[in-house]
Amino acid sequence: MIPVADFWNSTVGKKTVVAVTGTILVGYLILHMVGNLNSLFGPGGAEPRVDWYSGWLREIAEPLFPYAGVLWLARVILLGSIVIHITGVLQLNSRNRAARPSRYPARRIGRSWESGTMLVSGLLVLAFIIFHILQFTTLSITVTPLEHGAVYFNLYNAFQEWYFVVIYLAALVLVGIHLRHGIWSLVQTLGLDSPARNRGIRYGATALTLVIVIGFALVPVLFWTGVLGAPETEAAIASLAGGTA
């Protein structure tokens, strides 16, 4: 049996758990980003591609799993990962602070500023995640019209407002800051690096970060600039007409 408690109680073990949960979260981000790119197929008449995709997500592995079963499974894993990730990080952080007399030494030598701001970038990302779920999952932020199941419609409306575009782009910058250090760091923490590969891993982490950030950023930017047009479903047209009347 693996002595789980011993592993979790050591600094190296706990950090390994932070890295594994971080990897799960990064993996999810990549899938989520690719999924979002379905919006780029545009309004597409009766059913926008991204609406179809959203429905499909709920039907995966039916009838083996109940409706939205896999989706809920993913949600549970993600919530668990975030909770464990943050718990580990906060515990490590308090240990690290205790190991160091305060304000010493003043001079920092050669660490990247991303690495020094992981806690801040992480907590701001957490705040964004909560806001984001309230907006597009629970549809609770009703500044712009939102409809159940009408993903394209919801995105289109939200990203006509400059402030939502700014919030999403700002959050992506924070995710980028977190991941530029995080992705390299997890490779190091898991000990998957080797002297010969280390430079490549650094560049690879930056490249993957850029792909994730740009991939996500395309959606708000293309809606805002009008490249992705208004939804064309009847319900949407009716709703928009009602909204402006």
Which residues sit at the interface with another protein, rule CB under 8 A?
Answer: 2-3, 6-7, 9-16, 92, 95-101, 104-111, 115-116, 118, 181, 184-185, 187-195, 198
Asked if residue 186 binds ligand HEM (CB under 6 A), the reply is: yes
Half-sphere exposure (CA, 13 Å, Cβ side) for 63?
0
- Out of 14, 22, 36, 39, point to the residue binding ligand HEM (CB under 6 A): 22
**What are the respective helix, strand and coil percentages of the chain, to the nearest 5?**
70, 0, 30
Cβ of residue 65: shortest distance to another protein, in angstroms? 31
Asked if residue 221 binds ligand HEM (CB under 6 A), the reply is: no
Residues 116-145 that bind ligand HEM (CB under 6 A): 118-119, 122-123, 125-126
Compute CA distances 8 → 5, 26, 35, 85, 87, whole Å: 5, 21, 34, 12, 11
Amino acid code (one letter) for 230: A
Cβ of residue 113: shortest distance to another protein, in angstroms? 11
Cβ of residue 126: shortest distance to ligand HEM, in angstroms? 3
Residues 154-183 that bind ligand HEM (CB under 6 A): 178, 182-183
Q: Spell out the residues 6+ positions from residue 87 whose beta carbon is closer than 8 angstroms to its own.
A: none
Asked if residue 63 has a cis previous peptide bond (ω within 30° of 0), the answer is yes
- Out of 8, 29, 37, 42, point to the residue binding ligand HEM (CB under 6 A): 29
Residues 81-120 that bind ligand HEM (CB under 6 A): 85-86, 89, 115, 118-119
Binders of ligand HEM: how many residues, by CB under 6 A?
A: 23
Query: How many other CB atoms are found less than 10 A from the CB of residue 47?
Result: 14
The separation between the first and the last C-alpha atoms of the chain, rounded to the nearest angstrom, is 67
Amino acid code (one letter) for 100: R
Which listed option, ligand HEM, another protein, none, makes contact with residue 85 (CB within 5 to 8 Å by class)? ligand HEM
Residue 151: burial class (beta carbons within 10 Å; 0-12, 13-18, 19+): buried
Q: Could you list the residues that contact ligand HEM (CB under 6 A)?
A: 15, 18-19, 22, 25-26, 29, 85-86, 89, 115, 118-119, 122-123, 125-126, 178, 182-183, 185-186, 189
